[in-house]
């Protein structure tokens, strides 16, 4: 067995392992139970797919696929930042609503701890 054949088989094995772990991350993203678990699962899936694209670029000898992996990495990063901002804003709004409900119910001003 030549060196190239060993590298080829190793890359195929790594892509298979990454494909299996992507499904575990998908399971975590769907099941949750918290929003943070879902976001981490989605982010991990994105990272693993980027690595899989890089491995396929090595296997095929196509440098254009590396550019696609870099673009996918930037988009994945931006998506996580945007989702974090959205969920943080939604959480803050929920806290404000709950605070106003407590103030209305008790009749006294609620202070932040």
Q: What is the pLDDT of residue 112?
A: 60
User: How many other C-beta atoms lie within 10 A of the C-beta of residue 94?
Assistant: 10
Nearest to 36 by CA among 100, 84, 107: 84
The per-residue pLDDT for range 13-46, each reduced to its tens digit, is: 999 999 999 999 999 889 988 888 888 888 999 9
pLDDT band, very low/low/confident/very high, at 101 (cuts 50, 70, 90): confident
pLDDT band, very low/low/confident/very high, at 85 (cuts 50, 70, 90): confident
């Amino acid at each position: 067995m030549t060196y190239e054949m060993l590298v080829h088989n190793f890359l195929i094995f790594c892509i298979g392992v990454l494909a299996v772990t992507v499904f575990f991350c998908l399971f975590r993203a769907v099941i949750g139970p918290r929003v943070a678990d879902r976001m981490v699962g989605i982010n991990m899936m994105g990272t693993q797919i980027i690595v899989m694209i890089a491995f396929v670029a090595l296997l095929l000898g196509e440098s254009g696929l590396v550019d696609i992996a870099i673009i996918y990495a930037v988009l994945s990063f931006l998506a996580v930042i945007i989702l974090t901002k959205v969920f943080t804003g939604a959480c803050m709004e929920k806290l404000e609503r709950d605070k106003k409900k407590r103030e209305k119910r008790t009749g006294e001003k609620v202070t932040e701890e």
